[in-house]
Amino acid sequence: MGSILIADDDIILGKALAAELKESGYEVAIVSDGLQVFEYLSANTIDLLLLDLKMPKMNGFEVLEELNRRKIKIHVIVLTSYSGVQQVVGTSVLGKRDFIHKPYDFQELLEKIEDVIQKDE
């Protein structure tokens, strides 16, 4: 179906989400900080990045900026518990695909994931 990288420092949430996505037919990997996103991308190809904004070492905004700087074209859905206007505007400016608030509804997230991946096929 597609490959997804989850970047979230909440390992429990990441593992739960990964299990749900694997059950839905996706290949899933998890990293816990922004630097690991780029380590993973240097050796792997993904269809979608599920990105938390608040992470150690390199936050989600920095990841988005670095993706742009390196001209890495991947779809991104931002997952965050912070719903302030500043975060929404910031991610929009940086070219994010979608923005979902935690706690998320898995069915809503799955629909967005399917939409993003199907548009790419």
Of 39-43, 67-71, 73-77, 97-101, give the range with the top mean pLDDT.
39-43
Model confidence band, residue 83 (pLDDT cutoffs 50, 70, 90): low
Question: Helix, strand or coil for residue 121?
Answer: coil
Higher pLDDT, 91 or 30: 30
Could you say which of 3.40.630.10, 3.40.190.10, 3.40.50.620, 3.40.50.2300 is the CATH number of the domain covering 3-63+74-104? Answer: 3.40.50.2300
Listed as own residue / partner, the contacts of 39-43 with beta carbons closer than 8 Å and 24 or more positions apart are 40/5, 41/5, 41/72, 41/74
Contact 17, 50 (CB under 8 A): yes
Contact 7, 34 (CB under 8 A): yes
Model confidence band, residue 98 (pLDDT cutoffs 50, 70, 90): confident
Sheet arrangement for strand 27-31: 27-31, 3-7, 48-52, 75-80, 98-101
Token output for 118: 């199907």
- Segment 6-21, tens digit of pLDDT: 999 999 989 999 999 9
pLDDT score of 85 more than 50: no
At residue 105, φ and ψ (nearest 5 deg) are -90, 120
